[in-house]
Structure 1
């Protein structure tokens, strides 16, 4: 007899939210929430999210809803009569089964929204969980960056929203990953950073094995700083590639970009070893060199002569462009030098030509090389 699978609700049906929902269906009854009803219908009827993952077949077991309350009820049922809930599906099966009254502590919510939308979805989620069983429920987010207005990292935003719900475990899931490859079933390694041991174990139980290797960490700050600054460095590398500066220049930007990430991370309380791992060096190399990297694509377009507005045309999202000024302001507040970040900001927002930005970086005073 099959054991009853845990429940997962993924809030946000962009490329990464959809990919993680597809990954979770192997071991958990998974419900994906999308604002767009057309996306929901396409996933349920045709098993595809054509808008964000065109032509990628999604698992038959994955279900979607446009009703946020239904998605939350999937993992934290209120017990009210006639409550709309997705059925629990036993592990390794796809057929509907009788509803099961699992406690919320068995379950996981993944927030697949960008940093700009994190505060609002956390607020809505916290309001709904107050009067539902939530003790032991885990909530993890996947966004990378600093909030463009407040300069907050994602864990600060989430901690504020869930301050009145201490029974909810919080964490960040990050690492070198392109959503399309994950959705296609290609291998990936990720890190769950959390101070909640049950949350770390729950993510491992649901995600680890077969397609994904999950590592655990308690360094939330280090993981988030790495995830934020690597996008800025990817724009810098893309600019260099767009200018035709060659692989030597790209290697230099990656290496000094890593030093920049580590300097700021240490100043904020992160751990040095985190930046040598998946969420530091690993994510930086992928985003700075991978053809699927949206931040690198924006940099290439700017290096080839396009404006930021032209590079972002068509709805492309580049978190590095959104958070670069917030990162620079934080570095200045902390007294941390961020020369590559500063150069990217000058190119994106102050009209400095990419070639002059490169010249200014090369003209910086010579100094001994050091880890930070």
Structure 2
């Protein structure tokens, strides 16, 4: 039997992951911060604000009570913006069950300190297996069942494999690795380059400029990653190059549209 999973964060990506898990037969509960949004999702059996095209499976639970969600979960999967990550972590830490796995699909650094998110997790929940879920993945395409591949990076190989198996579906593939730092770095830095690419596109500088920005940007990511101890193969994989290409070229990329 699959372990129960609590997905914290009812934005587009958290919703997509929760629905994916529930469709795979995993007992899943989606927690939302807004009481009204929770009521609306439970009534419509869809997240009409973020992913109206994705109908919730009957088995997906919706809750606004975070203590219950976390306490009853064998795996807690956090999917909130990076600026909310630290506060949410502080809220859930007393409620996490002994031995429960902690995973996050949040990209970015802690804005208050500039630290990696895994450092915050290790400080608060040092005795729990931890993993980051990242890669080139627009939530809307996952919602539509379009082919997607991402990576689960963890220092606990068994936890990485377990989480990858729970996510695996006919059109969704999760690969595993043990380079959390490299995966987090790639997922954060690509956003800066996507904004720059959007600026270049908006100025009409052409496809040559876009390709140059992506390529030289990848070089910068590799240099910084090497200095920080990340594995080059992580940054050249889904968590780095894959996410960079998607975010710099995809019309669904918010960072590119911002630029």
CA distance in 1, matches of 2:13, 2:200: 27
Matched, 1:252 2:212: yes
Are residues 1:284 and 2:244 paired? yes
* Alignment-derived partner of residue 134 in structure 1: 98
How far the C-alpha of 1:43 sits from its partner, in A, is 2.3
TM-score normalized by the length of structure 1 = 0.67
User: Among 179, 190, 199, which residue is 2:150 paired with?
Assistant: 190
Match of 1:12 among 9, 12, 35: 9
- 1:229-248 correspondence runs (5 A): 229-248=189-208
Which residue of the partner structure matches residue 265 of structure 1? 225
Counterpart-to-counterpart distance in 2, 1:273 and 1:55: 36
CA distance in 2, matches of 1:39, 1:184: 22
Query: Partners of 1:52 and 1:224 in 2: how far apart?
Result: 24
Match of 1:150 among 90, 93, 113: 113
SS of the aligned residue for 2:131 comes to strand
> 1:180 offset after TM fit, Å?
1.1
Encode CA deviations 1:153-205: one digit per residue, 9 max, x unaligned: 11112112213xx1x11110000000111122222101001001221122122
Match of 1:84 in 2: none
Asked if the contact 1:108/1:202 (under 8 Å) is kept, the reply is no
TM-score, length basis structure 2? 0.96
Aligned equivalents of 1:118, 1:285: Cα separation in 2: 25
Give, in whole Å, the separation in 1 of the partners of 2:72 and 2:45. 20
The answer to whether the Cα contact below 8 Å between 1:58 and 1:183 also exists between their aligned partners in 2 is no
CA contact (8 A) 2:46 2:55 kept: yes
1:370 corresponds in structure 2 to: none
Identify which of structures 1 and 2 has the higher relative contact order when contacts are C-alpha pairs closer than 8 Å and 6+ apart.
2
The match for 1:303 is: none
Does structure 2 retain, via aligned residues, the 8 Å contact 1:31–1:74? no
> How many residues align structurally?
258
Rg comparison, structure with higher value = 1
CA contact (8 A) 2:107 2:184 kept: yes
- Residue 72 (structure 1) shift: 1.4
Q: Is the 8 A contact 2:138 2:252 kept in 1?
A: yes
Give the structure with the higher percent strand: 2
| 2:88 aligned residue | 121
What CA RMSD, in Å, does the superposition of the two structures yield over aligned residues? 1.3
Question: Any stretches of 5+ residues in structure 2 without a counterpart?
Answer: none
1:14-49 Cα distance to aligned partner (Å, 9 max, x none): 111111001110230100000112222232222211
Q: Give runs of ≥4 in structure 1 deviating > 4 Å.
A: none
Verify the 8 A CA contact 1:43 1:63 in the aligned structure 2.
Answer: no
Aligned to 2:176: 216
- Asked if 1:199 is matched to 2:166, the reply is no
- d(CA) in 2 for partners of 1:274, 1:242: 31
